[in-house]
Chain A
Amino acid sequence: MFENYQKDHFFDEMFVSGDHDVFDFYQPLRERFDRLSEAELSEKRRRVDHGFLEQGVTFTVYGDEQGTERIFPFDLIPRVIPDAEWRLVEQGLTQRIIALNLFLHDVYHEGRIIKDGIIPEDVVKTAAHYRPEMLGVQVPRDIYIHICGSDLIRDGEGRYLVLEDNGRCPSGVSYLLENREAMKRAFPGLYRKCGVRPVDQYPELLLKTLQHLSPRTGQTPVCVLLTPGVYNSAYFEHTFLARKMGIEIVEGRDLIATDGYVYMRTTKGLVQVDVIYRRLDDDFLDPAVFRPDSMLGVPGIMEAYLRGNVALANAVGTGVADDKVTYAYVPDMIRYYLAQDPILDNVPTYLAWKADDQKYILENLERLVVKAANESGGYGMLMGPSSTAAERAEFADRIRHTPRNYIAQPVVPLSRHPTICDDMAIEGRHVDLRPFILYGEDVEIIPGGLTRVALKKGSLVVNSSQGGGSKDTWVLYR
């Protein structure tokens, strides 16, 4: 299977060096694939794809004329992470979510990190998702980001780096769980032989995390999942998680807020809601407080939240922590709040609002990746090396105009992983990793995460909305 595999000059997840040696934790996998004929592999692939389509494991691409509903392309070669490596990632992410939560608590209370001159005040206050409404509010259990999805990449030396933190409504966990199911069906023997740590406890842990927030004690908390509706790109995931947790999935119109409490309309009358897992941005949450044109939210929900009668996960205002400019300061936050060095490094980041950095960015546009500070999903970015002069000119203009909105990073040669491409050839494709972190009574990280793969040859953009696929991620016991 792997005879013609070209490792090239990238860090490869599976192959050690120039020749065809694999890391020993990939050995069973390699042996299994070597025994497969092309026809067998192709058959397995067809079945898995068919399974996804039948079960409706799909996502939506915005701004596409031909059908918006697609299956998420799935690659049959799993990514394997040995235990020792995973422990490091786990610790690094735990450290990060703790620091981010302290930061959020700080900026919405005393702002000591600003007064001590670690982070400039205007960076915080001009973040698009900074919510002054949250100043001085005590959120349930003092936790802001309960569910975080951080994007990790590995550089040319195989070091794990954090690319961004998604502290608002990270999505993708349903694909992680579905990928595992598909993989267990496709390679039951291999899965057992490798000693893979399970992931199916996620819905249970998520429910525990939500219940931990309930303002009412002494009874089973009523948790609901608030979705923007069927047209949202992650609607499949919303139904999936609600079903797995055994909680109601609601839209804004299913809830009403009166007298500082939130109720759900049911066939048996109104039921008081304690915890809302909202998959809706702050902007749309409450038309009375945020965007008045929001048809998705619930008027009065903020009132109930600020009074402490209902908990929201994630809290309102967490966007200030996953702003891409704030991101550049996370290592400083860790040193400030925890008196430790970061376990996982950031990708070097240039901030366009700093005069020196801006000059550098403008002079080196063709070598950098420019990103909008508040966009996600791979929208609003410029890949320097593959851009046209016209695109660069346009971005240069935008950067000069609104420097706060842009950051730039060097192009990291993302690690590659053998991936089945067209004509069943196995080629190296760039991958990243999105682990999911839950912060409830304790910090829990589901082993592995969603490995996303850029299916286009040479592409470094792994986002599903930009033609990325995914793989199952196997964290081993050993």
Chain B
Amino acid sequence: MRLRVHHRTDYHYTTPVTDSVNELRLYPASGRWQSCESAFITVLPAVRLRRYEDLNCNVVHHFELARPHQRLTIESRITVTTREKVDFEKLPYGFHHRDLPRCQRLEECFPFLQDSHYVTRTPDIWRQALDIQGGSTDVFQTSYAIMEHIFGGYTYRSGATTVGTHASEVIERRTGVCQDFAHAMVALCRAIGIPARYVSGYFFDATRDHRLRGSEASHAWVEIYIDGSGWIGLDPTNNKVVDATYIVIATGRDYRDVAPVIGTYYGTGRSSLSVTVQVQRLAE
């Protein structure tokens, strides 16, 4: 599927701010299941952009803006071609829970079994995860059950949480947006030893009535590790196995690793933010 995304973030500051230093994670990942045709990241006021890769192999753009400014606009325009990551006729069942300890020794999985900034494994979360697991011995089946648990039992409401809400709080209050749902799912998976990572990106809502949630902004979901199949995406916000309508931008332990825009500035004024995301399907 050929998709084009236009993502625009506008910051307004009531008084001029200075020394803004920012990192952007807006450049699409590339792999077998997604190829980037073009991606243009721009910043206004015009700045010199530098590009590097972080520890999770995400492409990062970095810029500094020392002069006083009251407006900052970050735009990305990307065109990617995505393919199905899983065969829906043959979902990756067959990986037994008792084989999970093997994953802990994999370099690829280790960081995604530990606590991270927004995700802590507590006894309470562990107990909940065991309840959801029930009698399942299959890792994919358990993960799917966790996704269904969140989709069915949690309330999707924007404004109820903030960008800094911790997974434990989400699990307690059962309310939030895609970021919170993904954090909750990461926590529940890790609590019972399933390697889980946080993914940011976009998706194209192909349903006729546009009933899916999160397509009007950056989206977030989860990938779990299945031995033999690799990382498999599950979207607890929409109860979906990730397919070709999803565009992966960055992966990490949690939101902190993949935040689209992260940075600091000096200034006392209040800032306001507006974000627009448009995902469009193109002819092949």
Contacts and interface: CB of A to CB of B under 8 A. Distances in A.
B37 A94 contact: no
Contacts of B45: 105-106, 109-110, 112
B117 interface: no
Contacts of B51: 339-340
Contact of A102 (B38, B42, B50): B42
A116 interface: yes
Contacts of A98: 40, 42, 77
Q: Which of A91, A110, A337 has the most CB of B within 10 A?
A: A337
Interface in A87-143: 87, 91, 94-95, 98, 102-103, 105-106, 109-110, 112-113, 116, 142
A338 B46 contact: no
Given A339-B61, A442-B77, A477-B283, A102 B40 contact: no
B67 A142 contact: no
Nearest to B40: A98
Contact of B42 (A87, A116, A338, A442): A338
Given A91-B38, A98-B40, A337 B77 contact: no
B49 interface: yes
Given A94-B38, A142-B73, A102 B48 contact: no
A401 B148 CA distance: 77
B273 interface: no
Contacts of B61: 339
A73 to B, nearest CB: 34
Interface in A184-239: none
Q: Which of B44, B46, B61 has the most CB of A within 10 A?
A: B46
Contacts of B37: 87, 91
B6 interface: yes
B38 A95 contact: yes
B47 interface: yes
Interface string B36-64: 01101110111111110000000001000
Q: Which of B38, B50, B51, B73 has the most CB of A within 10 A?
A: B38
B50 A105 contact: no
Given A91-B79, A337-B46, 15 more contacts: A91-B38, A94-B77, A105-B46, A109-B46, A110-B46, A113-B46, A337-B42, A337-B47, A337-B49, A338-B42, A339-B41, A343-B38, A442-B6, A442-B77, A477-B283
Interface of A: 87, 91, 94-95, 98, 102-103, 105-106, 109-110, 112-113, 116, 142, 336-340, 343, 441-443, 477
